[in-house]
Amino acid sequence: MLENNMMERLGILAESAKYDVSCASSGVEKKNTGSMGNAAACGICHTWSADGRCVSLLKTLMSNDCVYDCAYCINRSSNDIVRTSFTPEEIAQITMAFYRRNYIEGLFLSSAVEINPNHTMEKILKVLTLLRHEHRFSGYIHVKAIPGADQMLIYQAGLLADRMSVNIELPSESSLKLLAPQKQSQKIFLPMAQIRESIIRAKEEKRHYMSAPSFVPAGQSTQMIVGATQDSDRSILLTSEKLYKTFNMKRVYYSAYMPVNKGKNLPDILTAPPLIREHRLYQADWLLRFYRFSAEEILSEKESNFDLDYDPKFHWAINNMHLFPMEINKVSYSDLLRIPGIGPTSAGRIIKQRHLIKVGFEDLPKMGVVAKRARYFITCDGKFFGIKSFDIASIKNAVNPIPKHTQLSFF
C-alpha cells in the first residue's frame, strides 16, 4: 500500500499546489455524521509554514500533467518538468492518515487538466466518493471544479464537497486571451453560475425537507493572479465586486504573481512578486465584504491603483476628510465602520455600550479600537484627541511617518 515514491510524488504535487492561496477551512460548522471528522465554523490552523501562512488543509494536485499551456503556470504543457499523478485511492489514504493524526483539517484538491476536463473531474469525484462513502469522512473538503467538465460531474461533486472553486485566474477577458488562450471566460463563468444555481436550489429544498441534500455548504470561491498582467487595482476590485454579486462568492483570493516562466507576454522572470499590492487588495476586499464599501468608493475613476504606503480605508478617509471627525457617540453603525481603526467588532461594542454610558476616548482600547489611528477622525463627546493642525499631510505623517532609511539616500 505505502508505495515508496509516494513521498516524492507528494513533494512534487504539493509544491505545485502551493501557489493556490485559499487555505481556509472555515465557513461550515458541522458535527460528525460519518465515522471520522467534523468542522468548526471559525477554521483551525494546524501549523504555519516558513512563509508564515496558516496550514489547514492537505493541499495538493491530483496531477501536474497538463494538456493546457497557460503562460504563467509551472505545469504548462510546454514546460519540461517531471510529470506525475496520484490515484484517487492514494489521495483518500493520505487524507485519512493525516486527518487522524490531526495534521490537517481536511483536503483541498486541485488538478492540472489531465487528458481532458472530464477525465480530471471524474478523478476528483472519485476521491470525494471514496472519502465520503468508503471512509465515511465528515471533515472539510474543498475541490476544484474543472471548467469544461460535464455539468453532471460538477453537480455530483458539489453534493459531496464542502466548497468548490473555479479559478477566474486573471481579472479580465483580454488578460485571459493573452496568457491562457485555452481558457475562455465563458467556460469559467459557466460552472460558477451552475454552482450558484445548485446552492440556491439546495437551500430552497432544505427549507421544505430537512433531509434534502446540501450542495457545497461552505459556498464557492475563486482566485486571481495579481501582477502577471497590466490590469489595474481598480479593475481587479471591480471584477471582485461583480464576482461577489453575480455568483454569491464566499471569497475571492488574490495571489501575487511569482514569475516561474519566461514568456514574451509575461513580466520579467526577475520581477519580485507584488506582495504589498496583494496585501492592499485583501484589505480592500474586506472593505467590500464587511465594511459596506463599494469598489467605486475605494478606488474612484481618478485613481486606478492603491497607495502602497497606506491601507485602503485610511486612504479613503484622507480623501474624504469633509466627513470627519465623526462623533463616536452619535454616528450610525455603518458610519462607525468607515472610521480608520474601527472594525465590525469594535463598532458593535461601541453601539452596545453607548446606550448605557457615553464612550470616552480612554475606553476605546478596551473596545478593540486602534486609538492611535482613529483619533484623527473622531470626537468623543465633542472632544477631539487628534493633532492640532487638522490637515492631511500631518495626519498622514503621524499615522505612517516616512521611515528614516528611505529618507537617507546613499546614491
Partner 1 sequence: MIYLYDGQFDGFLTCIYHHYYDEKCDGIYEEKTYDPKLFEITRFIKTDSDKSTKVHQAMLDQFSEYMYFNIYHTFLSNIYDKDTMLLNCLEIAFKHGLATDRMRTLDAIFQVLKIGRQVGFEKHRFMGLLRFSDLGHYLYARFEPDHNIISLLGEHFSDRFREEKFIIHDVRRAIAIIGHKGQWLVTDFNHIVDDNLLDEEIFFRKLWQTYFDKIAIEDRTNLKLQQNFIPKKYRKHLLEFGANTNKSI
Does the footprint of partner 1 cover residue 333 (CB under 8 A)? no
Residue closer to ligand SF4 by CB (options 112, 145) is 112
Rounded-to-integer distance, Cα 375 and Cα 314, Å: 12
Contact partner, 113, from ligand SF4, partner 1, none, Cβ < 5-8 Å per class = ligand SF4
Find the radius of gyration of the CA atoms of the chain.
24
Spatial distance between the Cα atoms of 167 and 225, rounded to a whole number of angstroms = 9
List the interface residues with ligand SF4, window 30-49 (CB under 6 A): none
Q: Is 392 in the site for partner 1 (CB under 8 A)?
A: no
Please tell me whether residue 295 binds partner 1 under the rule CB under 8 A: no
Distance (Å, rounded) from C-alpha 280 to C-alpha 287? Answer: 11
Interface pick for partner 1 out of 22, 27, 37, 218 (rule CB under 8 A): 37
Q: Which of 54, 74, 321, 323 binds partner 1 (CB under 8 A)?
A: 54
The entry of ligand SF4, partner 1, none near residue 68 (CB within 5 to 8 angstroms by kind) is: ligand SF4
Residue 251 C-beta: closest distance to partner 1, Å = 20
CA–CA gap between residue 372 and residue 374 (Å, rounded): 6
In 3D space, the residue among 174, 168, 280 whose CA is nearest the CA of residue 224 turns out to be 168
Cα separation, 187 vs 180, in Å, equals 12
Compute how many residues bind ligand SF4; rule: CB under 6 A: 8
Mask of contacts with partner 1, 221-260, x by CB under 8 A? Answer: -------------------------------------x--
Identified binder of ligand SF4 from the candidate list 66, 145, 249, 395, rule CB under 6 A: 66
Nearer CB in complex with partner 1: 52/382: 52
Binding site for partner 1 (CB under 8 A): 2, 6-7, 10-11, 14-15, 17-19, 31-32, 35-38, 40, 42, 44-56, 58-59, 94, 97-98, 100-103, 105, 139, 258, 272-273, 275, 349, 352-353, 355-357, 363, 366-367
